[in-house]
Structure 1
């Protein structure tokens, strides 16, 4: 996972001015939290918080939020309403337990065993009995359809997108892994790639075995896997209440 910090820090420098502002997506995430965890108020742990926009929206809804992020994207965050911890969530130590653990748009970096390590930490260290974890899972059906696609993204400085970029997507069907490669138009030999392990719900159930968590729902039901969303939300609960 050596690529993670560099990839998200660099892409954050490309997009941070545009994407560090709160959007409707953050409000949708808060609504999903309320749907599956109840209105609260809750003690919430957000893993991989990025620019902190969802953490801020969650705090604004009345929750006590701790957000963990390792990359330079936190330089764009305004953490005056929640607790921001700049650290690696595979190593960070956090006090107490949480009613809700969220991981929006990020699960799947590293090996299957890396995912299990994180899932065991959620179940064994962070999530209180009766709590719920909400985790976005890369949708293999959509990433597979994107195999071989290449996009040319022109700058939109008025919206905060200042770089001319290219993106190429490939998908390995044997390992169910997506490779999402980016480069600046003027630097074609300086490419960066994120590597995303994708899981069907059946694969996710196998991954969860022995971690202390089980899948209790998929937001939107199984049909959510067949639309154009590159990820689906898995609702996880402790195997022992």
Structure 2
């Protein structure tokens, strides 16, 4: 996973001026937290907080948030951390595979990042959530990359032109590939004037069934899946859910301790 800090720091410099702001996506995540963890307030651990927008929105909703981010994207969160009343926001610029935290949390969240690394890496993180961070009655909410959509994007190419008025200063190209054997997507980007300086993120995708297998031995169990605005228990899959799942590149896995 040596590519992680460089990829997200560089793309953060491309997109941060435009995207480091709280949007409806952040508020939706806060609503999901309330639906699955209860009204609270809760102590919340957010892993891989990126620009810190969701962490700030969660804190402003009254929760006490500890947000961990390895890259310098966390620098954007400094502006949010100064105004989070009525809750609190603590920023930790460290690797969440190594960080030591002195308390447990009623909720652990990981938005738009699970799947970086190998299956063994995911299990190592899941074990930390269960054994070190999550309270016995707590809940973990984790975005999981959906293989059905990423497979459909195999070979897609995108050209993004600059839009300075919105904060996008760079002309960028993107190519997405998907390996059906390893169920892994590779998302490659480069600046128009630097075609020899490509950077890629490698994303392991999991169907709900694959995720259930991954969870074995981690101390966590899958209790619900949220796709778009719909939630269901994995055992109650019925006609219509499969079509809904194919529409979204991610779904939220709701996990609890065994």
Residue 226 of structure 1: how far off its partner (Å): 1.7
Asked if 1:183 is matched to 2:190, the reply is yes
The runs of at least 4 consecutive aligned structure 1 residues that moved more than 6 Å come to none
Asked if 1:237 is matched to 2:237, the reply is no
SS at match of 1:104: strand
Partner Cα distance (2:245, 2:256) in 1 = 21
Q: Tell me which of 177, 200, 206 is aligned to 1:199.
A: 206
Partner Cα distance (2:59, 2:67) in 1 = 10
CA deviations over 1:212-233 (Å, ceiling 9, x no partner):
0000000124624221x21100
Residue 190 of structure 1: how far off its partner (Å): 0.6
Partner Cα distance (1:199, 1:46) in 2 = 21
CA deviations over 1:124-181 (Å, ceiling 9, x no partner):
0000001000000000000000000000000111001110000000000000000000
CA deviations over 1:18-51 (Å, ceiling 9, x no partner):
1111101000000000011111000000000000
2:125 matched residue in structure 1:
118
What is the TM-score when the length of structure 1 is the normalising length? Answer: 0.97
Asked if 1:47 is matched to 2:66, the reply is no
Question: Structure 1: 5+ residue runs without aligned partners?
Answer: none
Partner Cα distance (1:237, 1:76) in 2 = 31
Which is worse superposed, 48-57 or 213-222? 213-222
Residue 76 of structure 1: how far off its partner (Å): 1.1
1:70 matched residue in structure 2:
70
Q: Tell me which of 98, 119, 138 is aligned to 2:105.
A: 98
Which is worse superposed, 158-167 or 215-224? 215-224
Q: Tell me which of 49, 74, 91 is aligned to 1:84.
A: 91
CA deviations over 1:73-92 (Å, ceiling 9, x no partner):
01111223300000000000
2:221 matched residue in structure 1:
214
Asked if 1:134 is matched to 2:164, the reply is no
Question: Structure 2: 5+ residue runs without aligned partners?
Answer: none
**Root mean square deviation of aligned Cα:** 0.8
